[in-house]
Amino acid sequence: MKTERLVKLQVQSNRLQSELATLAAFSAIPAPAVERIVYSHQDMQARAWLKKLCASAGLVVREDAVGNTFARWQGTNPALPAIATGSHIDAIPHSGRYDGTVGVMGGLEAIRALQESGFQPTRSIELILFTSEEPTRFGIGCLGSRLMSGSLTASADTTLRDPSDATLHDIRHAAGFAGDLASTRLAPDHYAGFVELHIEQGPLLERRGVPVGVVTAIAAPASVRIAIEGEGGHAGAILMPTRHDAFLAAAEISLALEAAAKSTGSIDSVATTGICEVFPGLINSVPSRARLEADVRDIDGSRRDRMLAVLEKACADVAQRRGVTVATKVVNRDDPATCDAGLVSTISAVCEAQGIACDRMVSRAYHDSLFMSRICPTAMIFIPCRNGVSHTPDEYSSPEAIATGVLVLAETLARHAGVLSSADGPYTPGTGTSLSR
C-alpha cells in the first residue's frame, strides 16, 4: 500500500521581512529608495551576504561566468534534473525593495520552510539569483537568463558596453566573474522546471482582492530606436509652411504608435514611447533632430509584430509628408512565452488545497522567466503590490501577501521535488500549513 508524506509548512514572515530590509540597505542612495546596479559595490556586497545565508541553510552555492548564482538543496536522487526558483536583486535607480527580491528571498524562505518541516526532496531544489535582469547598465534586460537560455551569445562579452564604454568582459572580470561566457548556457534538460515568485507590478490582484495570480503567459517587448533628421533654425525666422520640425515628426510617430496599440482589439497590446530627445533643445530654435525609443509588447508575437509594421509605415508617411529623414532600428524582438500547463495546474491546485483564492492572468512585464521558458517548463506566481506601483520607492507588498506567495511557492516546489518510488506514493501537502510571525 502506498504511503503519503505529510509536512507542516511554516513561513517565518518576520525572518523574511528582516532579510528584505537588510537587502534594501545595500543601496547607493538613501532609504526608502533603492539603487543597486549590477556589479556595483552595493551589488557585490548584497551577493556576498546572500551567499552566506544560502550556505547557512546548507545549500551548495556556485556561480557562473557572468555571476548567475545557484544555491542547491541536494535531493536524495541528485541525478534527476532539479526544480528551480529565483529572480534578481539588481535595482534600477530610485526604485523600491520588492521587485525581484521577493522572488530571491522568498525562494530561500520557501526552501527553509520545507527543510524545517522535515520534508526531504528526491529531486534537488535550486535557488537562482539571475545577473542583471534590469537593463540599467548594459541597455539590455535579463542578461543572465538570456545567456543561460542561449538567447544571447558569447559575443555579448565585447558588444555590450556600459555608459562608460567599458565592455561586459572587462566589467565582469573586475567583479571576479571569469571564464568563457559560452559556459553560462544550460542544456534544455538541465532543469525539470522553473517557478518565479514576483510582485504583480500592476493593480489587478489588489483591485480584485485576490491574493495570488497564476501567470499563464508572459508578454515580450520589441525595443525600437527612431532617429529623425529635420532642419533647424531660428524660431522666429522660419515660416510655418516651410518648416521641417524633427520634434513634431517625432510626436506624430509617437501618436501613430499609440493608435496602433489601441486598434488591435486586445487589452494585452501596449506600446510606449519612453524616450524623446530633442536637439538643440532651445526654446527659440526649431528642433533639427529628435530621437525616440519605443517599447512595443504583447503576449501574442504576431499581433506585436503587426504593431511594429504599423510603426514602420507611420515613419515612412511622416518622413514624406514633413520632409524629414526617419531611420528605425529594432534593438531586440523577443518572443512571448506561454507558461507550462502542468506547473500552472500545480500552482492552482496548491491554492485550492490551501483555501487561497487565485486568478489566472498574464504578465505584461517581462522577467527572467521569459527566457527560462526557452529551456524548461516555466510558470510564475504573482502577489499583489499596493496600487500596482513598482520601480519607485513607493513599491510595497505586505508581509501577509509575501508570506502567502512563499507558502504557495514552497508547496509547488515540494510537489515537483517530492518524487518518490512507486512504493512510497506522491508527496501530499499537509493540512497544517501556516504563516509564522
**Tell me: the pLDDT tens digits for 240-255?**
999 999 999 999 999 9
Task: Give the distance, in angstroms, between the CA of residue 324 and the centroid of all CA atoms in the same chain.
Answer: 37
Task: Report residue 419's pLDDT band, with 50, 70 and 90 as the boundaries.
Answer: low
Is residue 316 pLDDT above 90, yes or no?
yes
Q: What is the pLDDT of residue 331?
A: 87
Return the amino acid letter for 310. Answer: V
Task: Report residue 418's pLDDT band, with 50, 70 and 90 as the boundaries.
Answer: confident
Average pLDDT for 295-318 = 96
Is residue 365 pLDDT above 80, yes or no?
yes
CA–CA separation, 207 and 216 (whole Å)? 19
Q: What is the pLDDT of residue 214?
A: 98
Q: What is the pLDDT of residue 423?
A: 35
Count how many Cα atoms sit within 13 Å of the Cα of residue 324 in the half-sphere of its side chain: 31
Task: Report residue 221's pLDDT band, with 50, 70 and 90 as the boundaries.
Answer: confident
Q: What is the pLDDT of residue 431?
A: 35
Phi, psi of 143 (to 5 degrees): -60, -50
Q: Which helix (H) or strand (E) holds 311?
A: helix 301-322
- Cell readout for 131 is 545577473
Average pLDDT for 377-383 = 98
Question: Percent of the chain having pLDDT more than 90?
Answer: 91
Q: What is the pLDDT of residue 7?
A: 57
CA–CA separation, 211 and 352 (whole Å)? 12
Q: What is the pLDDT of residue 435?
A: 44
- pTM here is 0.89
DSSP 13-37: HHHHHHHHHHHHTS-SS-TT-EEE-
Is residue 48 pLDDT above 60, yes or no?
yes
DSSP 73-127: E--S-TTSPEEEEEEE--EEEEE-S-TTHHHHHHHHHHHHHHHHHT---SS-EEE
Is residue 309 pLDDT above 60, yes or no?
yes
Task: Give the distance, in angstroms, between the CA of residue 129 and the centroid of all CA atoms in the same chain.
Answer: 12
- Cell readout for 321 is 509628408
**Tell me: the pLDDT tens digits for 267-289?**
999 999 999 999 999 999 999 99
Strand 125-130 with 69-73, pairing: antiparallel
Q: What is the pLDDT of residue 412?
A: 97
Question: Percent of the chain having pLDDT more than 70?
Answer: 94
**Tell me: the pLDDT tens digits for 96-147?**
999 999 999 999 999 999 999 999 999 999 999 999 999 999 988 999 999 9
Q: Where are the domains of the chain?
A: 5-219+336-436, 222-333
Averaged pLDDT score across all residues of the chain: 93
- Cell readout for 157 is 562579452
Average pLDDT for 421-428 = 39
The CATH class of 222-333 is alpha beta
**Tell me: the pLDDT tens digits for 16-43?**
999 999 999 999 999 999 999 999 999 9
The CATH class of 5-219+336-436 is alpha beta
Q: What is the pLDDT of residue 68?
A: 98
